[in-house]
């Protein structure tokens, strides 16, 4: 095969890759356009939030206001897990230690 034939073949392959990429981009654009034009679903009805008893002496009106604001901010999502913020420090400190010492210079020949 001559050099000019190789160049023509490589240009044909690049052209084919460009055409396929453009077709895929158009298909993705069409899917996004179709989804954006679909009818909007009605918002779900608000759900009553029940507050659990807590150790603090927060007035019920304040607790209801806070719960209402949280429910409004989260929308249709819900809180799945609540954890003590100071409970997971061991894992993060161990990970930081391993990462920072993985590149340490070691003198093995002493």
- Model confidence pLDDT, tens digit, residues 26-70: 999 999 998 888 777 767 777 776 656 655 667 777 777 887 788
79 assigned to some structural domain: yes
| pLDDT > 80? residue 89 | no
93 assigned to some structural domain: no
95 assigned to some structural domain: no
96 assigned to some structural domain: no
CA 14, CA 2: separation in Å to the nearest integer? 19
110 assigned to some structural domain: no
Residue range(s) defining the domain that contains residue 63:
3-39+48-84
25 assigned to some structural domain: yes
| CA–CA–CA angle 28, 33, 39 (5° rounding) | 135
74 assigned to some structural domain: yes
16 assigned to some structural domain: yes
The residues, any chain, with a CB within 8 Å of residue 38's CB and separated by 6 or more, are none
Tell me the pLDDT band of 78, cut-offs 50, 70 and 90. low
The domain total for the chain is 1
């Amino acid at each position: 095969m001559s050099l000019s034939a190789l160049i023509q073949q490589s240009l044909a392959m690049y052209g084919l890759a460009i055409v396929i990429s453009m077709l895929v981009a158009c298909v993705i654009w069409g899917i996004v356009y179709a989804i954006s034009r679909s009818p909007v679903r009605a918002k779900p009805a608000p759900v009553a939030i029940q507050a659990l008893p807590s150790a603090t002496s927060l007035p019920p009106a304040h607790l209801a206001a806070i719960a209402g604001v949280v429910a409004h901010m989260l929308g249709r999502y819900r809180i799945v897990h609540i954890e003590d913020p100071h409970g997971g420090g061991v894992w993060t400190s161990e990970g930081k230690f391993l990462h920072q010492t993985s590149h340490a210079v070691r003198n093995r020949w002493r």
